[in-house]
Structures are given as structure tokens and as C-alpha cells.
Chain A
Amino acid sequence: MKVQISVNGEDTSADVEPRLLLAHYLREQVGLKATNIGCDTTSCGACTVLLDGEAVKSCTLLAVQAEGQSVTTMEGLEGASEGQPTHPVTAAFRAEHGLQCGFCTPGMVMSAVSLISHDDDLDERKVREGLEGNLCRCTGYHNIVRAVLVAAGKDPDAEQKAEAESDALRTAPGFSRGESAEEARA
């Protein structure tokens, strides 16, 4: 079947088998190799791309399902064509050391881009839940979560600071978890 898909702003087309996965289309037909395939069960998220702006796992979608739509991969982000991670998310991943082996990174970055675009009030919990579909075996997520918060313009240490304050209260006599800080103060 013939498909036409806009990839990173360029029109692409090919005659493909109906069963061809979008991930394989991007890698083998278009030749963009940043998008990685890490599992068979849509569990790892390494293949995450944006389809008309929405994060999707490209190993779960057939290429023909993307017909006429627009796909963005990590190679399509700001600065990528010049080899510079100047997009807020890629820049933050570098600054916060949000990657090690790098295999999950393109998918993680694209999930983060989507997450930030859908929520302008992210906090650590929302970021952790928002990245639940992207697995990483190297970083323990600590720095990935920081990177996404930085890219979203949030202070990644804000919650830690708040928690330190609450810890100080928690260890105060008469305070136990489950009460709010206000109740404890009262």
C-alpha cells in the first residue's frame, strides 16, 4: 500500500506492506534511526514519537495508520539538524544528565515534549506518572524527572525543599503523617 506521511516537516512516501509498523517505516524507509525499538509489547516506550502532536508508540501503530498525518521524531526537534540540543527538553536532558546509554532517550524526550505541551503546571508526581510508559534501565529516572521539570520551567528542588520542611515537622512531637502540615501546626 502507498502511504504518505509528513516526517519532521518533510513529505515522505513509500509502497509498504499493510502490516509495516510505523517504527520500521521511520527507521528503514525514511532512514531516521533515533527512534529505537526496545520491546514487542508496547511496554518500553523507546519508540515514542509525536503523531499530529500527540505522543504515540510507533511500534504499536501501523505505518498506514499514519497516512496523511504528521510525525515528529527527536531528529525534528529544534536544533537537531545542526547537531545541537537546543530544544528546551533536549537541553535539559543534557544539563541534568538525564541519559546514560541513550537507548530510551529519543522516546523519553518525545514523551516529555508531549507531557509539557499538555500540562503547564507539572510537578514531580505528574512527571513520574506522565513518563510511566517509558522505561529506562540506566538512570533510575531521578535525573530524567529533574530534566523534565527544568524543561517545564519548574524548580526540580522545590518539592525537596517543601519535603524537608515537612520532615522537620514530622519529627516534631505529636505530628504524624496523614495530618496536614497546617493541622500539625495547629
Chain B
Amino acid sequence: MSILGTRVVRTEDPVFLTRGATYTDDLTDERLTGALHLTLVRSPVAHATITSIDTAEALASPGVVAVVTGADLDLDPALLFPGANKSMTRPFLATERVRFVGEPVAAVLSEELYQGEDAAELVDVDYDPLPVVIDPLVAVNDETLLFPEAGTNIAAAYDYDGEPDPGFFDGCEVVVTRDLVNQRLAAAPLETRAASAFWEGDKLTAYISNQNAQGGRDEIAGWLGIDKDKVHVILPDVGGGFGAKIGSDPEFAIVAWLARQQGRPVRWNESRSENMTGMVQGRAQRQTITIGGTREGKVTHYRLDVTQDAGAYPRLGTFLPMFTRMMAPGTYDIPNVESRARVVVTNTTSIAAYRGAGRPEATAAIERAMDLFAAEIGKDPAEVRKLNVVSPDKFPFQTKGGVEYDSGEYAKAIDLALAESGYEGLRAEQKARRERGDVRQMGIGVSSYVEITGGGAFAEDASVEVHPDGSVTVLTGTSPHGQGHATAWAMLASEHLGIGLDKITVKHGDTELIPNGGGTMGSRSLQTGGIAVHQAAGELVDLAKQRAADLLEASVDDLEVDTDTASITVRGVPGSKHVTFAELAAAEQLKVDTTWDGKKATFPFGAHVCVVEVDTESGKVTVEKIIAVDDAGPILNPLLCEGQRHGGIAQGIAQALLEEVVYDDEGQPLTGTFADYGIPSAAELPSFDLVEMTTPTPVNPMGYKGIGEAGTIGSTPATQSAVVDALSHLGIRHIDMPLTPLRVWEAIQTASEGVTK
């Protein structure tokens, strides 16, 4: 029986559940002995000129070894995203100007952690305030410039060089337009950012908490101006990333530079308060949607206009609206689609990838548009969706977003979600409650989604080696941070070799072991790194057969793997001679290095239904039920897959109802700790109902698509729609996220005063 598709518990868990994982702050590497603690002094103001920095008192503080400012640091300011306006570089420690609260201004090195925190308080920085711009729709006017030398706040623009065609919607029977906010979110991995670094001669070793060792190495080397062969990056266990730990962080370069300058190892582990301002954040889009079509419900035209807040220094957020534009039409076969986007800097924390990275924003927009359109023509939102989705016979489907969807059955996913939810019964109950005028109203939200996984990075290296003792080492360029690759990749190798999971070790996140790799992001790992392991194990079997042919005096074509004994045998000859993989490995190294290059992304899809109860007196929303139909092709390990979906769904609900990074007009973060930022606990969430569909992709031999971000993409619009649906009889058509009790209550009050939204 194949191990693939079975619920294998994680091989990594015994360590995690006994002595705990080894995160960057838990390292026992002897070369880190005596490491200095780095404490960063961060700007308390959002936009200012630095007039002076006095470090004397801090330097005299107990245990302090050095206090370093930007003037001491010989690192050139870096452009943190290559596609952004070239003038928008970031100094590693601010020298002349600060552009967001949390920007590092000075570095304190101390023998002990608490000493550094004490001394950081004593660094005296004088700031001369500058006007602050927080709202991206104000920043585009260029009245307050963050980078005067750039002459603009626009970091990048895509098809934003003129006004769109005013006649685009001519001929539509119905046109609906709406401004939307896709709010800024904090990634908030429970492990904050951390790094430890030391030098041996001219060679740097850096442990970082990150999703991509190789990308981190390249960036750190580039920032330090040294050859990447001189940089060894290791990712220990990583306590969550969610996209925000892709690549590298400027702080890592500071740690490495200080370790070189001091000739001593340096450790850095930021506080949560630093993390909430210093770590990249996600989403932060303002959107205008316009949708047009027939009174019968056929959507013929869709336009999406995106203003992406980049934060103070453009990072991966510069690219996010590209994904949003790519996925703009969602699951729908809309003949006319246009979109444009601009990316603008503001005096806030930088924006980068976070859980879906541009795709949830696209889905939220088109799904809101579908609901608004359905409401306008007075039809059921689920029916309008089904009328417009791409039909199964059209795949591969060239979309108006400029990508090719590989495979899908979108209407079937909607039907499954509706059936599982008991949709008709729910609508009947909703009607009854409305007729009774219940205080607690029910809402039902339906979403249909498709996402791109493995977008833009399709190749991955893998290596499989069998050792003479029968154990196996798998090397992969992907870097798990909770996804369970150690188990999943071992399953893929075991399937080919018949060697037990207990004998298979999966290694990742080390640039000396695996020099090339793309890391774990964009739900790409299984379809790239996993397929590479599958391919490597297959090639290893081929190699083993070639070697076994002589020993067994048989043609290679007559040989097969006996997975019960992890050996090569002659087909159809019971009891014949056989040779085990271990024996072959004892004779000669048995190892295969390979590269998988799928060349194409895949497009998992699904449909979610969310049922909420809204207390119309308080505005409180309770999620009663969420049904998630997700199709990521065949499932390697249902246990891991369900876990990924659960986490995504929770985050999707959290964005819809709770989470938002908020700044005041002066650029002060009002959500700078977990006490202010609304992460849901177990008490705020229900259990989830999962339904599977399996539509394999033709773009790789196993049919695998990605699953990591699906839950987030599908559940956010379903939840938002459900709340609006609960209040639609009051004339409410839209409420911006997060739909907090206050926002919902205000919407109800406004509606009851006769002003519909």
C-alpha cells in the first residue's frame, strides 16, 4: 500500500513536544559562546530630520561594549526591492532622516540582554519633526515627500500612466462601483525576528529566523558587499513566517556587520513591540472595483484599481499588486477585465508578503464585486457566481489577468459548499428571523476562489542519498516553518525506496548543504521541492537498478523495487536474488542530485461558506460555521494538509472580523503590542468543516498544487459577505474590514437612520 495520501503523524514532533524546538534564540552552537546582545534604538517618531545623536551616556552604562550609529556604519543604503524607484533606498541605521516609527537609529552591544535595554534608553537622539503622511491616497498627491530626491512618493506603477477608458462599461445593463479597504495586517509570527552571527576569518556564519536561506544569504552578502560564497546562512527551527520572513531583513546585516567589527559573535532577538513596527506587514491596499453586466446576472466587465501602500521603504509590497492584478478576475469567465495599480510610500512600516500576498486582496475585491452585483440585480449571490465561473471544459484557461489556469471545477466546489452548509435551510431560517425581527440575525456568505501557487519560482533542487546502514538523507531547498516538510518529503522518498520514515532524515535551510533553493513561500513547496524529492528518489531507483543489473545478472528493464525489503529484485521471479539499497550504497556512494523545473505555476481553487450571527444591538459577530471546499489536487498527507487549511481559515476570519494595524495621524502605531492588536484566540473561533475535492494539475507528475494560503484566500470574503448578508435587509451593502463590533454597530445605526451603505 502506498504511504502517499495517508495520515502520517509528524516525524519532527517528538523533539518539539519534549525538549522543544531549537529556534534562533535557543542555539547551542559553541561558536556563539560569549555573544554580545544587540539592542536597537528605534525611532519614536514617524517622520523627522535627525539633528544629533548623543551616545556617551549609553556607552558609559554597565555592560555596554559599543554604541554604533549610522555614521559609524560603512554600509551603503540599499534598495530593498529591485523594481522600486531607485531613489528609495534604506540606510541600515538612519543618519539624516527617519521615515517610520520603529526605524533603527543606533545599535547598542552589551554583555547581557537587560544591560542593552537599559542603555538603549540612554541614547539621546534629537528629532526635528517633518510633516507625516499615513494615507496612501493622500501620499499619491506628493505634497509631503518621503524621498525629496525622488520627487515623488510613487515607488512603482503598473498601467497607471493615463485615465482608464470612460466608455469601458458602455452597454452594460447594470454597473456597480465601490471603494474598498483591504486593511494592513501584522504577520505576527509567534517567534519574532532573530539572528545570531559570527565570523571565522573572512567568512560569515549567520543563523536567521527566516523562510529562505539562499535568498537571505544573497541579500546579506549584497548588503555587506562581500562574495556570497563567504556567507553561510543556517535556518534553525523557525517559529512561524507567514511570508514576512521571506528573504532577509536589514537588521540581519547590522548583526553581521557588528560581529565583524567587534570580532565577537552577536545575538539579536527583537521584542514583540519592535516586531509590531519593525517587521514587514501585509495587505494595505485601497481598491476601487467596478463591475458591469446584464440584469440576468452575466458579468461582462470588471475593473480593478489598486493603490498599494508600500510603507516607508519599498520592499516586496512593491510586487504585491502584480499578483492582485494577475488574479483579478478570480474564478470568473469575464470577457472584459482591466486593472491598474500604483505603489506609494507612506510614513509607516514597510509592506511585504503575508499569507497569500496579493491574492487574498484580488479575491476579496472580485468577491465583494460579485455580491454587490448580485444585490443590485436582486439575485442569489451563489447563483450569480455559478453563472459566471469558468466552466470545466475551458481548461487550460487563458485569463484576462494574463495567466493560464491549469485545471478547475469551480461550480462543483460552490455546489459542494452549499450542500454541506445546508444552504436552503439556512436561507429559510434567515427569512424566519427577519420576519420575527430577531435581535440576532443570521448571515450567509459564499466565496469562490482560485489562487496561484508556485507563482514565479518553479524550480527547486533536491538530493537523496542512501547510506550503507540503510538510512537516507534528503536535502531540499525549501525551508519549512511549521508545514511539516520533514515528514512529507520523507514520505515521498519512502514511497520510492521502501525505506521507513524513521530512517529518513530531511535537511533544509543550510546554504552549505543546499546552495540553491527558493525557500518556502507562496504555497510552492510541495509542487517544487516535493516534486524535486520525488524526482530525485525516482532517479536514485534508476541508478540503483543500473548497479544491480550486473549483480543480479538481469536486464535493467526486468528489475523492480521491492518496497517491503527496500531492495531491487527481478520482476516475476519469486525468491530470486535481490540486493538492498543499503548493500548498493556500501559498494559505492548511492546519491542523486537533481533539479525539478516545472516551469509553470498551478491554480488551486475552492469555495467557502461562512455562517455568522450578528447581534444587531451590539454589533458583535459570532462565526457559527465555516465550510471550506479546497482543491489542491491529490493530497500527500491529509493530516498536514488539513492543518494548513485550518490555519489559513483562522487568519481569513481574523482579517474579516478583527485584525488591523492602525496608525494615528502622526504615524504613531496604535496597535504596537498583542494587547492592542486583535489576534483571535481559540475562544473567538469555531471548529471548521473541511470538504475535499481533487482536481490534479497537469503541470507536474504527481498532480500536486499548493495549499498553504487557500484557507485565508477563501474564508476572508466568505466571512465579510456573511456579515453584510446578515444586515442586507437593512439596506447595508458593504462594510470595510475588519468588521469589528463598533463598525458593524455603526453601519446598523446609519442604516436605521435611513442612510444605506
Contacts and interface: CB of A to CB of B under 8 A. Distances in A.
Contacts of B18: 74-75, 77, 79-85, 90
B663 to A, nearest CB: 19
B429 interface: yes
Interface string B605-630: 00000000000000000000000000
Interface string B72-84: 0000000000000
Interface in A3-43: 17, 19-20, 24, 27, 33-36, 38-41, 43
Interface stretch (B189-197, B255-263, B281-289, B567-575): B189-197
A127 B682 contact: yes
A44 B20 contact: no
Interface string B658-698: 00000000000000011100010111010110000000000
Contact of B14 (A85, A95, A135): A85
A16 to B, nearest CB: 11
Nearest to B18: A80
Contacts of B481: 101
Contacts of B438: 178
Contact of A137 (B10, B429, B675, B679): B679
A172 to B, nearest CB: 8
A150 interface: no
Interface in A79-126: 79-85, 90, 93-95, 97, 99-106, 109, 124
Interface residues of B, number: 67
B406 interface: no
A27 B675 CA distance: 24
B648 A46 contact: no
A137 B652 CA distance: 12
A63 interface: no
A149 B683 CA distance: 15
Interface residues of A, number: 66
Q: Count chain A CB atoms within 10 A of each CB in B15, B16, B25 and give the residue with the most.
A: B16
A140 to B, nearest CB: 3
Nearest to A80: B18
Contacts, number: 204
Contacts of B14: 83-85, 94
A39 B426 CA distance: 41
Contact of B482 (A74, A79, A138): A138
Contact of B685 (A41, A100, A141, A177): A141
Given A134-B681, A141-B682, A176-B433, A100 B674 contact: no
A135 B429 contact: no
B239 A103 contact: yes
Nearest to B484: A100
Interface string A163-177: 000010011000011
B85 interface: no
Contacts of B432: 176
Contacts of A136: 190, 682
Interface in A53-92: 74-75, 77, 79-85, 90
A85 B682 contact: no
Given A101-B189, A139-B647, A171-B422, A33 B26 contact: yes
Given A138-B482, A140-B688, A74 B20 contact: yes
A24 to B, nearest CB: 8
Contacts of A19: 114
A136 B433 CA distance: 35
A173 to B, nearest CB: 8
Contacts of A127: 682
A144 B188 contact: no
Main secondary structure of the interface of A (DSSP, over half): loop
Nearest to B650: A140
A43 B188 contact: no
Contacts of B433: 176
A143 B646 contact: yes
Contacts of B554: none
A116 B286 CA distance: 46
A81 B18 CA distance: 7
Interface string B698-737: 0000000000000100000000000000000000000000
A182 interface: no
Contact of B272 (A41, A97, A124, A138): A41
A140 B272 contact: no
Contacts of B271: 40
Nearest to B239: A103
Contacts of B426: 171
Given A139-B646, A141-B650, A142-B688, A131 B681 contact: yes
A85 to B, nearest CB: 4
A36 B20 contact: yes
A103 B484 CA distance: 14
A49 interface: no
27 contacts: A17-B114, A27-B26, A38-B272, A40-B272, A40-B673, A41-B272, A41-B674, A43-B675, A43-B679, A44-B272, A74-B17, A80-B19, A90-B18, A94-B13, A99-B13, A101-B21, A101-B239, A105-B17, A105-B21, A131-B681, A134-B681, A136-B682, A137-B190, A141-B646, A145-B687, A160-B687, A176-B433
Interface of B: 9-10, 13-23, 25-26, 113-114, 188-192, 237-242, 271-273, 422, 424-426, 428-429, 432-433, 436, 438, 442, 481-484, 639-640, 642-643, 646-651, 673-675, 679, 681-683, 685, 687-688, 711
Given A40-B271, A44-B190, 17 more contacts: A38-B191, A41-B674, A75-B18, A80-B17, A90-B18, A94-B10, A94-B13, A94-B14, A97-B639, A102-B482, A131-B682, A137-B679, A138-B647, A139-B647, A140-B688, A143-B643, A171-B424
Interface of A: 17, 19-20, 24, 27, 33-36, 38-41, 43-44, 46, 74-75, 77, 79-85, 90, 93-95, 97, 99-106, 109, 124, 127-129, 131-145, 160, 167, 170-171, 176-178
